[in-house]
Amino acid sequence: MVSFKRIFADLSVFRREYLRNRTGFFFALVFPVILILIFGAIFSGGSNGPIAVYAQNHDSGPIGAQFIHAMNSTNVTRIFLLPNNQSLTQYLQSNSGDVGLYIPQNFSSSLRPGNHVNITIYSNPSDTSGQIVLGVANGVVNFLNLRLANSSAIVGLQSQNVVSKSYSYIDFLIPGLIGFSILTSPMFSMVNISSEYKKSKFFKQLSLTPLTKGEWLVSKVIWYVLLSIISFVLMTLFGTFAFHAHVGINAAVIPFLVVGPLFFVSLGMLVGTVTKSVESAGVIGNIITFPMMFLSGTFFPISLMPTYLQAFAHVLPLFYLIEGLNNVMVYSNYSQAVTDVLVLVVISAVVFVLAVRFFKWRED
Amino acid sequence: MSAIEVQSLKKHYGHLMAVDDISFSVMSGEIFSLLGPNGAGKTTTVEILEGLRQRDSGEVQVLGMDPWKQGYNLHLKIGVIPQGFRFFDKSTPREALKYYADLFNVKVDPDQILREVILEDSKDVIFENLSGGQKQKVGLALALVNTPELLFLDEPTTGLDPQARRTMWHVIQELKKQGRTILLTTHYLEEAQLLADKVAIMNKGKIIAAGSPSELIEKYGSGKRQVMVSDTLEDVFVKLVGAPIEDEGNVVKPAVS
Ligand SMILES: Nc1ncnc2c1ncn2[C@@H]1O[C@H](COP(=O)(O)OP(=O)(O)OP(=O)(O)O)[C@@H](O)[C@H]1O
Ligand SMILES: [Mg+2]
């Protein structure tokens, strides 16, 4: 018979150990905030402004200047004019300016039907802003071409956002970092506790009391659920107030804050149980944890990864946690979130049962 | 009535026979001491009796139960100080007692138990700051929470200073007066001689001698009783186990029995 009295007795001892230990306190409350502040500071702002384009206008006629004016008025690019006696490519290299625009001599006078003249865009192929500038310049060039041909556009383009509001990177980052802290805090400490308690015969000692293995594990799960709720609140508050993240707090996050810790407490326990020593437990724990930490859409969307890695992400439990939190907090896509919860519930139940089965209070 | 019955108990680890066909019994209300050098198999034996280790073969009854199969029920009735006892570093003795009382679902007066084991003065000191002797007393206090009729004390005085050891002896004698059965392992022979009703000396997994301290001295002693210095259990131990001793400045290694 499961006894809640025993579970809460164990919970209260464990909580005391955790909080009286400064490292525990740090990881519970300070670390999530630091995480948000660091990543928020790195990724917020900056990327939203117009792209800087360094240009040289060798044209003596009016069209070169008009071209630059047209580029500027898109608000996507901002042109910085360089003096003509300088080498544009050398300037770009030495100042790490990524995109350059070159308007040749006699540009205006060359513009007549049957003639051909080029505008050159310099860009760094590894940088996406080059592609954007190319697109903008292309638009202006097309417009010029049409005008020269005395024609007007027939097919127009209208752009509309598929989602009702626009997202910034920080919105996406907050669920990722919450998932990250739900992974790290229980996983690392359970791997350590389970192997350490085994070594120091602590489990044997507990087995001499009526406390059962399942009750002991449940008490750890409850503790890490509480911690994950606290870090969820802290991270969301800091993200919202310090970095203007647009994330929703609603009751739908609760299943994730419960099942996530359940899964990682059980997994950590299982790793500590099936390994022989504290050291090998640590190594195996890291082998499992690190790929999951980076490939589950924690710091960047998995759509940025090659397809084989995306497929791999779909077998990582943390992926479903983070996807689910994103669906609930950012995209309000609840039907997809239900799928995420179900996947997590099933794998957590399996790992919890395995952990209780394999972990031994006493020796054969 | 016997509290513990052991018949032909065996346990091996790989090629090592840690416990090699031993038999003994412990009567209710007595203090039984397992003596032996490091690695003799004392802890292995005790852990089998506590239901913490599975035996290879042999019959074992503790309070009428099979400790491995009926461990959960047995644990409600026994108290244990494991060898090298430790508790959560940041908990005080009083908090530790509260924890155990909740686990066993019993009402205890923590102060009463702490007085019993002479630990009242340190009841609010966290475990990691307690001295070695105080830590052992926490172990004893916890072992008493469920008012066990049978106590297993595995080297409860190892590493303690003479003063702390004497307090522990006093507490153990008080417990015996309350009618509890105690199985005590120790390396200290004077401890066994003072406390134990019966002693079994183990070496390399076997019991090489058993009986009351006076019987052992009678049987294996040198018969020096007429002179001022009489044989102690220590003399018997050294003779049986063959530890080197300092004798008039020469290191003598007595013949191993
Ligand atoms: N889990 C184990 N695996 C392998 N060997 C073990 C294990 N536990 C004990 N042993 C070995 O069994 C033998 C008996 O050990 P045990 O702990 O029972 O001795 P002991 O009499 O309690 O010694 P001490 O006085 O040092 O506590 C030793 O040689 C020890 O190395
Ligand atoms: Mg021992």
Are A117 and A111 in contact by the 8 Å Cβ rule? The answer is: yes
Q: What is the secondary structure of A135-153 as a DSSP string?
A: HHHHHHHHHHHHHHTT---
**CA B39 to ligand 1 center in whole angstroms:** 5
Compute the nearest-CA separation of A220 from chain B (Å): 15
Q: What pLDDT was estimated at residue A60?
A: 86
What CATH number was assigned to the domain covering residues A51-148?
3.40.1710.10
Average pLDDT, stretch B218-235?
Answer: 65
Q: If DSSP codes are grouped into helix, strand and coil, which group holds residue B107?
A: coil
Residue B229 pLDDT grade (very low, low, confident, very high; cuts 50, 70, 90): low
Please name every residue paired with B5 in a beta bridge, in sequence order, or none if there are none: B25, B61
B106 chain-A contacts, CB cut-off 8 A: none
Are B33 and B197 in contact by the 8 Å Cβ rule? The answer is: no
Q: What pLDDT was estimated at residue A246?
A: 83
Rounded to whole angstroms, the Cα distance separating B200 from B221 reads 15
Residue B58 has pLDDT above 90, yes or no: yes
Q: What pLDDT was estimated at residue A322?
A: 95
Locate the ligand 1 atom nearest the alpha carbon of residue B205 and give its number: 14
Rounded to whole angstroms, the Cα distance separating A58 from A121 reads 14
pLDDT in tens, B191-205: 999 999 999 999 999
Q: How much of chain A, in percent, has pLDDT values that exceed 90?
A: 40
**Residues A20, B99: C-beta atoms closer than 8 Å:** no
CA pseudo-torsion sign A206, A207, A212, A214: positive
Average pLDDT, stretch A223-230?
Answer: 94
Residues 6+ apart with CB under 8 A from A193: A220, A268, A272
| CA-to-CA separations, B225 to B137, B230, B235, in angstroms, rounded | 36, 5, 12
Does residue B29 or residue A116 have the better pLDDT?
A: B29
Q: Which of A84-98, A259-273, B16-30, B47-61 has the lowest mean pLDDT?
A: A84-98
Any atom of ligand 1 within 6 Å of the Cβ of B42: yes
Q: What pLDDT was estimated at residue B65?
A: 96
Q: What pLDDT was estimated at residue B257?
A: 42
**Residues B54, A364: C-beta atoms closer than 8 Å:** yes
What residue has token string 């032996």?
B36
The chain-wide mean pLDDT, for chain B, equals 88
Residues 6+ apart with CB under 8 A from B61: B4, B5
Closest residue in B to A18 (Cα–Cα): B90
Q: How much of chain A, in percent, has pLDDT values that exceed 70?
A: 94
What residue has token string 């990582």?
A316
**Residues A17, B95: C-beta atoms closer than 8 Å:** no
Q: What pLDDT was estimated at residue B153?
A: 96
Are B185 and B205 in contact by the 8 Å Cβ rule? The answer is: no
Burial class (CB in 10 A: 0-12, 13-18, 19+), A69: exposed
Q: What pLDDT was estimated at residue B256?
A: 44
**CA B38 to ligand 1 center in whole angstroms:** 8
Average pLDDT, stretch A33-41?
Answer: 86
Q: How many CB pairs under 8 A join A and B?
A: 68
Compute the nearest-CA separation of A17 from chain B (Å): 5
Are B63 and B77 in contact by the 8 Å Cβ rule? The answer is: yes
Q: Which of A238, A363, A346, A68 minimizes the C-alpha distance to B53?
A: A363
Average pLDDT, stretch A22-26?
Answer: 79
CB atoms under 10 Å from CB of B204, counted, come to: 16
Q: What pLDDT was estimated at residue B138?
A: 95
**CA B207 to ligand 1 center in whole angstroms:** 15
What residue has token string 């020796």?
A363
pLDDT in tens, A89-146: 888 888 776 789 999 988 888 887 778 888 899 888 777 778 888 888 888 888 888 8
The chain-wide mean pLDDT, for chain A, equals 87
Ligand nearest to the CA of B53: 1
**Residues B102, A16: C-beta atoms closer than 8 Å:** no
Please name every residue paired with A101 in a beta bridge, in sequence order, or none if there are none: A55, A121
What are B23's two structure tokens? 């038999």
Average pLDDT, stretch B65-94?
Answer: 94
For A303, which DSSP code?
G
Q: What pLDDT was estimated at residue A249?
A: 81
Rounded to whole angstroms, the Cα distance separating A256 from A324 reads 7
Give kind and range of the element (H or E) at residue B18.
strand B16-27
pLDDT in tens, A239-293: 888 888 888 788 899 999 999 999 999 999 999 888 888 899 989 999 999 999 8
SS3 content of chain A, % helix, strand, coil (to 5): 65, 5, 30
Q: What pLDDT was estimated at residue B245?
A: 41
CB atoms under 10 Å from CB of A225, counted, come to: 20
Q: What pLDDT was estimated at residue A16?
A: 92
Burial code of A136-171, b = ≥16 C-beta within 10 A, e = fewer? bbeebeeebeeeeeeeeeeeeeeeeeeeeeeebbbb
Q: What pLDDT was estimated at residue A313?
A: 92
CATH 3.40.1710.10 residue ranges of chain A are 51-148
Closest residue in A to B13 (Cα–Cα): A364
Residue nearest ligand 1's atom 26 by CA? B38
Are A144 and A67 in contact by the 8 Å Cβ rule? The answer is: yes
Maximum alpha-carbon separation in chain A: 96
Residue A86 pLDDT grade (very low, low, confident, very high; cuts 50, 70, 90): confident
Q: What pLDDT was estimated at residue A308?
A: 92
A208 chain-B contacts, CB cut-off 8 A: 50, 52, 75, 78, 80
What are A121's two structure tokens? 């865009």
Residue A315 has pLDDT above 70, yes or no: yes
CB atoms under 10 Å from CB of A116, counted, come to: 5
Q: Which residues surround ligand 2, an ion (CB under 5 A)?
A: B 42-43, 83
Q: How much of chain B, in percent, has pLDDT values that exceed 90?
A: 72
CB atoms under 10 Å from CB of A320, counted, come to: 27
Residue B181 has pLDDT above 90, yes or no: yes
Average pLDDT, stretch A59-73?
Answer: 87
Classify the complex by whether its ipTM is higher than 0.95, answering yes or no.
Answer: no
Rounded to whole angstroms, the Cα distance separating A65 from A108 reads 10
For A253, which DSSP code?
G
Q: In chain B, which residues touch A (CB < 8 A)?
A: 47, 50-54, 71-72, 75-76, 78, 80, 82, 84-86, 88-91, 95, 98-100, 102-105, 126
Residue B141 pLDDT grade (very low, low, confident, very high; cuts 50, 70, 90): very high
Average pLDDT, stretch A210-237?
Answer: 94
Q: Which of A173-182, A190-199, B8-17 has the lowest mean pLDDT?
A: A190-199
Are B221 and B236 in contact by the 8 Å Cβ rule? The answer is: yes
Residue A254 φ/ψ, nearest 5 degrees: -55, -45
Any atom of ligand 1 within 6 Å of the Cβ of B41: yes
Residue A39 pLDDT grade (very low, low, confident, very high; cuts 50, 70, 90): confident
Does residue A249 or residue B245 have the better pLDDT?
A: A249
Q: What pLDDT was estimated at residue A195?
A: 85
Q: What pLDDT was estimated at residue B84?
A: 86
Are B67 and B75 in contact by the 8 Å Cβ rule? The answer is: no
Residue A162 φ/ψ, nearest 5 degrees: -70, -25
Average pLDDT, stretch B39-43?
Answer: 95
* Phi-psi region at B204: left, alpha or beta (left = phi > 0; alpha = psi -120 to 50): left
Q: What is the secondary structure of B80-94 as a DSSP string?
A: EE-TT----TT--HH
Q: What pLDDT was estimated at residue A183?
A: 92
Residue B254 pLDDT grade (very low, low, confident, very high; cuts 50, 70, 90): very low
**CA B35 to ligand 2 center in whole angstroms:** 10
**CA A147 to ligand 2 center in whole angstroms:** 97
